[in-house]
Each structure stands twice: as structure tokens, then as C-alpha cells.
Amino acid sequence: MPGKRKLYSGIGGQAVLEGIMMKNGEKYAVAVRKPDGKVAIEQDNFRGILDGSLIKKIPFVRGIFNFIDSLVLGMKCLNYSASVGEGEDGEEGKKSVGEGLISALITCVSFVMAVGIFIVLPYYIASRFNGYVRNQSLITIAEGIIRVVIFLIYVCGISLMKDIRRLYRYHGAEHKCINCIERGRPLTVKNVMRSSRLHRRCGTSFIFFVLFVSIVLFFFIKTDNVAERVAFRILLMPVVAGISYEIIRLAGRCDNIFVRIISAPGMAVQRLTTKEPDEEMAEVAIAAVEAVFDWKQYLQDNYGYRPEELEAATEAK
């Protein structure tokens, strides 16, 4: 029965435009609220790069590939939600070659901008203190703090956009659904709405781990050449992502004082990147979950629910 105990379910998700993507193993589903008020659902399997390979099972290496897979699937689901929001059928296969090239170009430009804003810019600002601070370790810490501040400014800045505020509300609905299940509660709108909108396996927490791990790793860059320093920072990012992935995996599966402490900063930032959803948003999130995950069987296996109790909860939904 539900209580303080929280068990890992294996499902994860992402907010998209007017909807939610949920993933369970290879299966994923995108549920989007259409302009006419109905919910469109696309259900499919996703196999990332090197799927089935032993490389994707190696700790600290698998995180790099899983991160790339998440970006690819995320872009695919965003494109689908955008097409549904425009009243189209959402079939990505109908996109022209030109549209595909534009999407790839936008992705590349976004990546270059992210490197410039979150890696090069903090280094440049921190390097201005070289004439006042001789301790390179302090300069590296300052660079990390500047990187965190820029990230927080970015998060707060884009939240001023109306579409992003709604995206944050769907982000909250996604977390509430997963927390509802992992706390052992039947997946109803009422139970989802009273669940927490914060979750340790959130992408926001992952980014915060990346920021902190980068501070530690950048201590080991010992060169006076500016170009080499910047290049090493960029080249180390896959390593940073691999380490951060293992930390967030640990955070999602354990619940001890150490995990709570290291998760606290990311959970705090989630108060900015998630907002309280309404019941219609919760319904969309539930539809995405039910398309890829048998929550009734999960509650029976892990929390001892009887089938009749789950049927009663479903009817009450």
C-alpha cells in the first residue's frame, strides 16, 4: 500500500508542446492535446545508437550515448507535438528533405550556442580575474559559479515566454505522474494532482550535476595556452556527462542522506523548471504513461494491491 516508501519504476519522460512524452525501455509514447481538445497519442519503439552493444552497459561510458539518444528522441517528439499543435496529422515521415535539413541546422546552431554560452563565456569572464587572483583553483571555482549563475538566468529568462511557462506546467505533470506511481498510488487525476512535481531523475537535476562535476574535472586542466584550455573543456564534456549520468542513476534508485544532499540543488532548481499543472494536463500525462507502462501490474507486484482495488480506482478516475 502507498506510504513513504518509493520504488524505482523505470519510466521517464519529457514535456513537449502541449503534451508529454513517456518512455519505458524501448517503448515511448507522446500524448498531445490537440486544438480541438482531444488527445493525440503516437506510440512507437526507439532504438538509439549502439543499442544492444556492450558499450552501452559500461558505467561512465553508457551515459554519453544515453544522453545523445535522449536528445535525438526529444527532438523527434518536439517535432511531433509541434505538428499536432498546428492541426497536422503529426506524421514525421511527411516532412520534406528541406525541413529535415533545417531541423538539423537548428540543432547544430543550438549546440554551438550552448557551448559558447555555458562553456566559453564563463571561462572568459572568470579569466578577467587573473590579474587580481593568482590562485588558479579559485579561478576555476569562480568559473563554475559563473556557469551556474548563467544557467539560472537562462532558466528564469525563458520562463517569461508564455509557451515555456505552459511547457513547465506539463513538465510538472510528467513528474507528478511518475511520483504518483512510484509512491504506490493508483494513477488517477486526483492522485496525480496531489503528488510532488519534483523528481530526482529530472533532466534539470542532470544539468546541475553536469555543472558541478565540470568544476571538479576542470581542476585537472593544467596549461597556460588559452586555446588549449577551452578545447580541453569542450573535449571533457562527454566525460562530465558520463559521470553525471551515473550520479543521477544512483539518485533515482537510492534514498539515503547522501543522495538527498547531492540531489538538493537540482531539486531546488526544479521549482523554476516545473509549475503546477491543471487536471487536463494531468490527463495528458496519464495517457502517455498508460500507452507504455502497465501501472496496475506494477502496483500489484510492488505494493500488494488487489485487482479489485485497482479496478475501483480506475472507475473513480
Neighbours of 235 (CB within 10 A): 10
Helix (H, G, I), strand (E, B) or coil at 133: coil
Q: Which residues contact 1 (CB under 8 A, 6 or more apart)?
A: 184, 303, 304, 305
Q: Name the CA radius of gyration of the chain, rounded.
A: 21
pLDDT in tens, 180-193: 999 999 999 999 99
Does pLDDT of 317 surpass 80? no
Nearest Cα neighbor of 274 from 218, 195, 216, 220 is 195
Separation of CA 233 from chain center: 23
Q: How far apart are CA 103 and CA 149, in angstroms?
A: 29
| pTM beyond cutoff 0.85 | yes
pLDDT in tens, 120-166: 999 999 999 887 887 888 899 999 999 999 999 999 999 999 999 99
Within 10 A of 76 (CB to CB), how many other CB atoms are there? 19
- Helix %, strand %, coil % of the chain (to 5): 65, 10, 30
Residues 192-242 have pLDDT tens digits of 999 999 999 999 999 989 999 999 999 888 888 889 989 999 999 999 999
How far is CA 153 from its chain centroid? 19
Mean pLDDT of the chain: 88
Mean pLDDT of 8-29: 94
What does the alpha-carbon distance between residue 281 and residue 18 come to, in Å, rounded to a whole number?
8
Taking only the tens place, the pLDDT of each residue in 239-258 is: 999 999 999 999 888 888 99
Residue-level pLDDT at 213: 93
